[in-house]
Amino acid sequence: MADPESPDPGPFSSFARFVAETRKKYIGRDLADNPKPYVPLSALQKFWEPARISSVLSAFPHRLDISVGLITRSYLRIFSTLVYTDPDAVRTLEDLFISYNFTDEKLPWGSRPREWPNTPFFKKLFKKIARDQWQFFPLHFHPDRLHNRLIRDQHVLPIRFTEEIAQGTAASVRAFAILPEYNDLAPKDKQGRPMRDTFVFKIYHNQKHESSYNNERVALLRLGSSPSPNVVKFYGSLQQHGSFSLILEHADGGDLGQFFANAPPPPTVGDVALFWRSLFQVFAGLERIHQLMSFDEKLIIKGIHEDIRPENILLMKGASGSPYDFIPKIADFGLYSRVRTAKVGSVADIFSIGAVLSHTVAWVVGGCEEQELYFKARKAHHDTNLRRFKNSGYEGCFHDSIEPLPVVAEQHKLFRKRLDPSDHVTPRVLEWVEQHMLRGARDRQKAKDILEMYEQFDDSRSKGSPLPTPAAVTEATLQLSDLSVQAASPPSATNGASESPLVAAPSVVDSEPVARLAEEVVLSSPGQDAITPASDLSPPLQPNDSSSTIQPSVDEPVVPSPLHPHVGITQIHEFFKADPHQGRLADPDTAELVDVLEYNCGGRDQFFFIDDSASMRADSATIAAGFRALACIAKRLDPNRVELAFASRPRKVHRARRTTRLLRLVARCEYKGDGHLMENRLGALIDGAIIPRLPYKILGRNVNLWARKQVSLYVFTDGDWGDAAHCGDACGVERPIQRLIDELKKRRLDRTQVSLHFVMFGDKANGRKHLERLDEFGREDGWDIVDVKHIKTGVGGMIIGPLTRSNDDIPTS
């Protein structure tokens, strides 16, 4: 006998049959590639006509008084879950869902809502709902809901995998298509259909590779703040089944390595020109990657890809249909570096792309066969001359860990001879590679400059104007000394270990940066990965191999003093206000200046000494602005603590990792001191804070436990310390400086152990004469540790100061 309180089973059985049939048509997946049947929302909307919803509500002895329209608009998937789970569960729709505003958007659930009664009935009910809900709630691919999202193992991805692009030990790369109604990653056409349905999962397989996943995810997020059409687009990220997945743009043209294997070399001069026009767009992507970005309280981060090779340059087919018409996109940011200090330079990527272009010219000349011969020539050189590479798996790389192989220059000469005489583009590409890419780090051009050179050349060629003849290529042009590779990174400031996974750099403590060993690229045979950073591949160099290191200059860092002399205080302020999220990009010249200063002057203590005499009061605003600019750079040169003292209290030293507190102190300075006491005040600072902390070495070992690193002391002053006409010196200010020099000599320390950077304010005649005399002090006996620059001159000159004689020779203003 039927229970009079039981609902009519008809509507429930009908829906169960519908679900069973629909699940056969829609088979989704999870990140582990397990099949996941589901019922899409569009199918539910088609099935649940108002009459069918009403029949369920009326199936109970007492009709459930719930609005059909409300269910259709906000609770259709919950309603479907309850109908499928248990007829009695439908009775709870109003009390457990509608009353708490638990709409479809709040599900699926991973745990029981706290609002529900904690009784056996409701616990059992939740277990049933948790079991059946997933088929009605497949993941919606919306960019706002895919930020490193952790989803349950039961969650259904409404996708079908279409292609396995790559499979590695750390990650796999697979193309997939999303069911249109769950695809909000692509823009819609006029009919509301997504204009792109295929995307790519890059799936890191287990927690061992989580750091690589996070590194690449963060890199792509940052690059996405100001996207480039030549950097692969990033849509979001997921975690499921212990795997970590990036959702990326799908390149319908494969990668450059595949292109070399599948496409013939351009058969006509026009095709050659079109091919190079397409490929050179990759420099726009590199420029975006290398662009300095501000984040996290305006800390400056520079992007470096560190793995530029053909397999990491994806191709999107162009509109013309020609195989040589494509859009290149840089991908694979697993090795991407975000660098506060320039231990690794973006110029490493320039060497890498130069190697890619050299490899590409071989293909233009003779296809994959020529690339294979090129690889074998490099491998033969390694086998004969570089035994440490033998059986390492890295034979045939582009360099010897220090410089490019001689065979690179030799092959370029052969390529030139075999090119079509009417091909004016490829010889120019080789010229740019040799002059601007496969060079020493300081001689490599920036990505934007190389792109500009190409565009100017292409523009003049397309207009039919006379083309400048490529520079004559002589034996000197191709000397390996001109193709030298940037050398290895110095030890980490935190643990003494090199951040580059190459050979160990020489142990250097508190000295100028050591030249980097080659961290560039390896070009291998077409059957292998074509280009790989040598930082990952080079076998350890033997300790006795005298060619394996480049000795640093102990005395003077090599810095071009006049680098961007127009970058002054104002430009530095604008640079640190840059915010790509707001469309305010960093000025590239200022970015390059900061990069060079960090690379060459980093690791020194940064100390500011402000003359707070009454004569400086008129320049108080300029002093505050100047300090803010220089201190922002200083905290990157000395990430530990920037130090500050005032002339009125020279033994009171303020130290701070962040400069905010120091900025407040400068802003509140009252400028009541007496400038005539400058000799005494500077002497107190040198005698109390500088000399006691100089290293003291016995048998080559420092025994002063309080010794500081090398120090740059910036003295803000107007030089108005007395009447310059009544004395031939600097009002005695040179005397404490002489004591410091004498102490440096006594301890046998370098001239650059302490550098005094006087920054002049105002334009008082007395002050200028005093500071000019100081600027000449110590020159005669080779112990000039003082430089003077006016606050209105270039910031680079102020920071470099007396560290180089070329900068010291530049006049005060």
Share of the chain above pLDDT 90, in %: 59
Share of the chain above pLDDT 70, in %: 80
> Rounded to an integer, what distance in angstroms lies between the CA atom of residue 283 and that of residue 449?
9
Q: In this model, does residue 511 exceed pLDDT 50?
A: no
Please check whether the two domains, 143-249 and 256-494+504-537, share a CATH topology: no
Residue spans per domain, the chain: 10-136, 143-249, 256-494+504-537, 569-573+585-694+705-808
Q: What is the pLDDT of residues 224-254, one digit of tens each?
A: 877 889 999 999 999 999 999 999 999 999 9
Helix (H, G, I), strand (E, B) or coil at 248: strand
pLDDT score for 467: 39
pLDDT score for 67: 96
Residues in the chain: 813
pLDDT score for 289: 83
CATH class of 256-494+504-537: mainly alpha
How confident is the model over 466-480, as a mean pLDDT?
37
How confident is the model over 628-656, as a mean pLDDT?
91
As its CATH architecture, domain 569-573+585-694+705-808 has: 3-Layer(aba) Sandwich (3.40)
> Higher model confidence: residue 579 or residue 116?
116
Structure confidence at residue 379 as a pLDDT band (50, 70, 90): confident
How confident is the model over 442-471, as a mean pLDDT?
74
**C-alpha dist (Å) from residue 653 to 361, 631, 657, 760, 799:** 60, 15, 13, 22, 21
Strand partners of residue 161: 176
**C-alpha dist (Å) from residue 89 to 265, 350, 375, 387:** 67, 64, 69, 75
> Rounded to an integer, what distance in angstroms lies between the CA atom of residue 328 and that of residue 360?
14
How confident is the model over 734-754, as a mean pLDDT?
95
> Rounded to an integer, what distance in angstroms lies between the CA atom of residue 469 and that of residue 487?
33
Q: Do the Cβ atoms of 521 and 373 come closer than 8 Å?
A: no
Left if phi > 0, otherwise alpha if psi is -120 to 50, otherwise beta: which for 367? Answer: left
Q: Do the Cβ atoms of 269 and 310 come closer than 8 Å?
A: no
For 491, residues 6+ apart whose C-beta sits below 8 A from its C-beta are: 497, 498, 505, 507, 508
> Which of 425-434, 688-697, 727-736 comes out lowest in average pLDDT?
727-736
Residue with tokens 């397999």: 311
> Higher model confidence: residue 506 or residue 365?
365
Q: Do the Cβ atoms of 532 and 335 come closer than 8 Å?
A: no
For 752, residues 6+ apart whose C-beta sits below 8 A from its C-beta are: 555, 556, 557, 710, 785, 802, 803
Helix (H, G, I), strand (E, B) or coil at 82: helix
Q: Do the Cβ atoms of 143 and 236 come closer than 8 Å?
A: yes
**C-alpha dist (Å) from residue 667 to 610, 620, 625, 628:** 12, 8, 9, 10
Question: Angle 643-600-336 (CA atoms, 0-180°, nearest 5)?
Answer: 100
Q: Do the Cβ atoms of 281 and 318 come closer than 8 Å?
A: no
Q: In this model, does residue 726 exceed pLDDT 70?
A: no
State the DSSP string of 157-193.
Answer: B-EEEEEEEEE-SSEEEEEEEE-GGGB-SS-B-TTS-
> Rounded to an integer, what distance in angstroms lies between the CA atom of residue 132 and that of residue 570?
63
The backbone torsions φ and ψ at residue 490, rounded to the nearest 5 degrees and listed phi first, read -75, 170
Q: In this model, does residue 5 exceed pLDDT 50?
A: yes
Neighbours of 611 (CB within 10 A): 28
pLDDT score for 19: 98
Question: Angle 806-447-531 (CA atoms, 0-180°, nearest 5)?
Answer: 115
> Rounded to an integer, what distance in angstroms lies between the CA atom of residue 205 and that of residue 173?
11
Q: What is the pLDDT of residues 386-440, one digit of tens each?
A: 776 666 666 677 777 667 788 899 999 999 999 999 999 999 999 999 999 988 7
Q: In this model, does residue 754 exceed pLDDT 80?
A: yes
The predicted model scores a pTM of 0.59
pLDDT score for 490: 32
> Higher model confidence: residue 297 or residue 575?
575
> Rounded to an integer, what distance in angstroms lies between the CA atom of residue 111 and that of residue 113?
6
For 776, residues 6+ apart whose C-beta sits below 8 A from its C-beta are: 784
Q: Do the Cβ atoms of 93 and 78 come closer than 8 Å?
A: yes
Helix (H, G, I), strand (E, B) or coil at 803: helix
> Rounded to an integer, what distance in angstroms lies between the CA atom of residue 289 and that of residue 222?
9
Q: In this model, does residue 217 exceed pLDDT 70?
A: yes
Structure confidence at residue 735 as a pLDDT band (50, 70, 90): very high
pLDDT score for 658: 80
Q: Which of 301, 293, 235, 163 is nearest to 583 (CA)?
A: 293
Instruction: State the chain's mean pLDDT as an integer.
Output: 82
**C-alpha dist (Å) from residue 486 to 444, 537, 737:** 10, 16, 37
State the DSSP string of 250-295.
Answer: --TT-BHHHHHHHSPPPSSHHHHHHHHHHHTTHHHHHHHHHS-EEE
How confident is the model over 54-78, as a mean pLDDT?
96
Which ranges in 86-152 belong to alpha helices (H)?
A: 87-90, 120-132
Q: In this model, does residue 163 exceed pLDDT 70?
A: yes
Q: Do the Cβ atoms of 38 and 135 come closer than 8 Å?
A: yes
Q: In this model, does residue 295 exceed pLDDT 80?
A: no
Taking the C-alpha atoms of 279, 306, 632 and 570 in order, what is their torsion angle to the nearest 10 degrees? -10
Q: Do the Cβ atoms of 565 and 796 come closer than 8 Å?
A: yes
Helix (H, G, I), strand (E, B) or coil at 668: coil
Domain 143-249, CATH number (from 3.20.20.70, 3.30.200.20, 3.30.70.2860, 3.30.70.580): 3.30.200.20
Segment holding 711, helix H or strand E: strand 711-717
Q: What is the pLDDT of residues 515-562, one digit of tens each?
A: 333 333 344 444 443 343 333 333 333 333 333 332 333 333 333 345
State the DSSP string of 297-328.
Answer: TTEEEEEE----SGGGEEEEE-TT--TT-EEE
> Higher model confidence: residue 280 or residue 544?
280
pLDDT score for 167: 87
Residue 84 structure tokens: 């499928």
